């Protein structure tokens, strides 16, 4: 016969809030194991003479909660091997914010019968003292899970077991990344007991309170929460009848130039290694995505959630080495996997266009992408000599075209295309190579102007030979890194 583990909820406070059924079960048990004796109900039971063995010694011996919980599970397993019934009591409701019960479900239910005996939870008492109707929306998160939380600002946030000032300070800092600094916070303690206390204070003062194992932090809905949902609502307002006249007039077509501009401003911030500006420019680029999604939503074509769904599913689908069973040890392996899955997707979608790059790509990027595509099917040089010889050949053909005055434009294009191919073969991004050169040219030119002005000269009045002299000086300073 399989042994049975009874998991009993103690409720949020003292004996008065323990259910009659759980009280009778505890009375009939020979011995009760409790996760901790530091709970009002356990203290009341012990005062009545009921034998309770707590796991507080494990808390004192271990350095992490994870280790504590594992040891508790090990101890319960030992008891189940020796007894047909074991009674384990936990604070509140067993299924609410109780890690050991989660572990019981993972590690003991396959070997033993487990019966959960419910109770009031601390959340029930929060509903009472804050007049909170959970239909408004409630999120419960442990204090160490706030960095990854996704809020809309429409829900109540409940953070249990903020049991000391150090944790309270960490919670405050995490919340200030999401909420306004002066958002109202409720610090609730010992709910349902004679020492029940509820304090309301601004977030920036939250960690000034006293904290213990019966302390919970609660934040009410706040329209100023920083979230993706907030951004979409701002855009929806801008496009509404009472919003902005300019925003209402925009279409997918009119916004194209802004999408391009914002993309290049992001690139510029990256080139300058200006992380503050990069943060701002990424926000501007994200706004363009939300703008287009809102316009599409108004037409009933798709919603922002459809955009999110598509990219999430695509990332998971095209990374089977991360989210599935496939293996990809190197970046090249990853690219092969990506291209294989992408090719299958295109076949499924009956997309037969081999060259399906966006035609609005900058020419250098478009050339490079085209060459990458044909190289994947074997149309490529076998070694570096091939693209290098092609550059020399195209240079000679351009020279002949210049001499004859015929076909210059075409030969110049061929030369540029062959240079892109050489760059690709050398594993350089031609666009980035040229951008770096432009930056270098601009810097050198400005230095040349500066040097001429230091000599009291008006740069615009210099001859080309004089300009060239200052150009060489600027070039020399750039390479040496020294002022001359």
The model's pLDDT over 126-167, given as tens digits with 9 standing for 90+, comes to 999 999 999 989 999 999 889 888 888 889 999 998 989 999
Confidence grade of residue 336 (pLDDT, cut at 50, 70, 90): confident
- Provide the pLDDT for residue 340: 76
- Provide the pLDDT for residue 484: 39
Q: Give yes or no for residue 111 having a pLDDT over 50.
A: yes
Cβ 101 vs Cβ 8: under 8 Å? no
Question: What's the pLDDT tens digit per position in 47-59?
Answer: 999 999 999 999 9
Beta strands 156-159 and 215-219, pairing class: antiparallel
Q: Give yes or no for residue 443 having a pLDDT over 50.
A: yes
Residue given tokens 């909420």 in the structure block: 179
Instruction: Tell me the three-class secondary structure of the chain, residue by residue.
Output: CCCEEEEEECECCCHHHCCHHHHHHHHHCCCEEECCCCCHHHHHHHHCCCCEEECHHHHHHCCCHHHHHHHHHHHHHHHHHHCCEEEEEECECCCCCCHHHHHHHHHCCCCCEEEEECCCCHHHHHHHHCCCCHHHCEEECCHHHCCCCCCCCCCEEEECCCCCHHHHHHHHHHHHCCCCCCCEEEEEECCCCCCCEEEEEEHHHHHHCCCCCCEEEEECCCCCCCCHHHHHHHHHHHCCCCCCHHHHHCCCCCCHHHHHHHHHHHHHHHHCCCHHHHHHHHHHHHHHHHHHHHHHHHCCCCCHHHHHHHHHHHHHHCCHHHHCCCCCCCHHHHHHHHHHHHHHHHHHCCCCCCCCCCCCCCHHHHHHHHHHHHHHCCCCCCCCHHHHHHHHHHHHHHHHHHHHCCCHHHHHHHHHHHHHHHHHHCCCCHHHHHHHHHHHHHHHHHHHHHHHHHCCCCHHHCCHHHHHHHHHHHHHHHHHCCCC
Confidence grade of residue 346 (pLDDT, cut at 50, 70, 90): low
Q: Which of 286-295, 354-363, 405-414, 424-433 has the lowest mean pLDDT?
A: 354-363
Cβ 21 vs Cβ 117: under 8 Å? yes
- Provide the pLDDT for residue 107: 94
- Provide the pLDDT for residue 347: 60
- Provide the pLDDT for residue 1: 65
Q: Which of 149-153, 298-302, 345-349, 412-416 has the lowest mean pLDDT?
A: 345-349
Report the alpha-carbon distance of residue 453 to residue 465 in Å, rounded: 16
Is it true that domain 363-428 has CATH number 3.40.50.150?
no
Higher-pLDDT residue of 120 and 331 is 120
Report the alpha-carbon distance of residue 151 to residue 292 in Å, rounded: 23
Report the alpha-carbon distance of residue 183 to residue 204 in Å, rounded: 8
Phi and psi, residue 184, nearest 5°: -75, 135
55-60-61-66 Cα dihedral, nearest 10 degrees: 70
Q: Which CATH class is domain 4-120?
A: alpha beta
Percentage of residues in the chain having pLDDT higher than 90: 65
Residue 463 CB: number of other CB atoms within 10 A? 8
Q: Which of 23-37, 73-87, 143-157, 296-310 has the lowest mean pLDDT?
A: 143-157
Determine the average pLDDT of the residues in 238-264.
93
- Provide the pLDDT for residue 353: 57
Cβ 230 vs Cβ 156: under 8 Å? no
Q: Just give the CATH number of 124-219.
A: 3.30.950.10
Provide the b/e sequence for 1-12 (b: ≥16 CB within 10 Å). Answer: eebebbbbbbbb
- Please tell me the pTM assigned to this model: 0.65
- Sequence ranges of the domains in the chain: 4-120, 124-219, 228-317, 363-428, 431-480
Phi and psi, residue 7, nearest 5°: -100, 115
- Provide the pLDDT for residue 250: 96
Cα 293 to chain centroid, rounded: 20
Beta strands 32-34 and 4-9, pairing class: unpaired
Question: What's the pLDDT tens digit per position in 158-206?
Answer: 999 898 999 999 999 999 999 999 999 999 998 888 889 999 999 999 9
Domains 4-120 and 124-219 share a fold: no
Q: Give yes or no for residue 348 having a pLDDT over 60.
A: no
Annotation: CATH topology of 228-317: Helix Hairpins (1.10.287)
Q: Token pair of 34, please?
A: 């409790």
Residue given tokens 């009921």 in the structure block: 50
């Amino acid at each position: 016969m399989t042994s049975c583990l009874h998991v009993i909820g103690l409720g949020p406070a003292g004996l008065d809030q323990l259910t009659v059924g759980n009280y009778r079960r505890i009375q009939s048990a020979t011995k009760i194991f409790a996760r901790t004796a530091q709970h009002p109900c356990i203290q009341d039971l012990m005062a009545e003479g009921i034998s309770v063995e707590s796991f507080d010694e494990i808390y004192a011996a271990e350095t992490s909660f994870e280790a504590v919980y594992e040891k508790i599970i090990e101890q319960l397993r030992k008891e189940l091997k020796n007894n047909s019934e074991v009674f384990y009591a936990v604070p509140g409701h067993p299924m609410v914010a109780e890690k050991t019960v989660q572990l019981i479900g993972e590690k003991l239910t396959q070997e033993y019968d487990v019966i959960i005996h419910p109770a009031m939870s601390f959340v029930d008492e929060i509903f009472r003292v804050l007049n909170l109707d959970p239909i408004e929306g409630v999120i419960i998160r442990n204090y160490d899970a706030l960095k990854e939380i996704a809020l809309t600002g429409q829900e109540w946030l409940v953070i249990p077991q903020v049991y000391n000032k150090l944790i309270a300070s960490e919670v405050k800092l995490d919340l200030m990344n999401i909420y306004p600094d002066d958002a109202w916070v409720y610090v609730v303690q010992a709910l349902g007991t004679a020492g029940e206390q509820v304090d309301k204070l601004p977030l920036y003062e939250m960690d000034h309170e006293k904290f213990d194992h019966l302390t919970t932090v609660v934040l009410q809905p706040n329209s100023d929460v920083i979230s993706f949902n907030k951004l979409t609502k701002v855009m929806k307002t801008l496009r509404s009848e009472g919003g902005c006249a300019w925003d209402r007039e925009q279409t997918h077509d009119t916004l194209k130039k802004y999408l391009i501009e914002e993309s290049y401003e992001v690139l510029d911030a990256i080139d300058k290694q200006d992380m503050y500006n990069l943060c701002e420019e990424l926000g501007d680029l994200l706004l363009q995505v939300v703008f287009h999604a809102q316009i599409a939503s108004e037409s009933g074509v798709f919603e922002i959630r459809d955009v999110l769904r598509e990219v999430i599913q695509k990332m998971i689908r095209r990374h089977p080495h991360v989210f599935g069973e496939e293996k990809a040890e190197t970046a090249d392996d990853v690219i092969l996997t990506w291209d294989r899955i992408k090719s299958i997707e295109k076949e499924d979608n009956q997309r037969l266009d081999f060259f399906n790059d966006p035609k609005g790509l900058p020419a250098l990027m478009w050339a490079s992408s085209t060459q990458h595509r044909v190289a994947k099917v074997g149309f490529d040089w076998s070694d570096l000599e091939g693209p290098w010889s092609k550059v020399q050949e195209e240079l000679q053909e351009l020279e002949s075209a210049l001499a004859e005055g015929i076909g210059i434009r075409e030969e110049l294009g061929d030369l540029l295309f062959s240079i892109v191919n050489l760059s690709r073969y050398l594993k350089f991004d031609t666009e980035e190579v040229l951008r770096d050169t432009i930056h270098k040219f601009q810097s050198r030119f400005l230095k040349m102007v500066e040097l001429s002005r230091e000599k009291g000269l008006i740069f615009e009045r210099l001859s080309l030979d004089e300009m060239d002299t200052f150009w060489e000086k600027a070039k020399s300073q750039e390479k040496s890194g020294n002022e001359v």
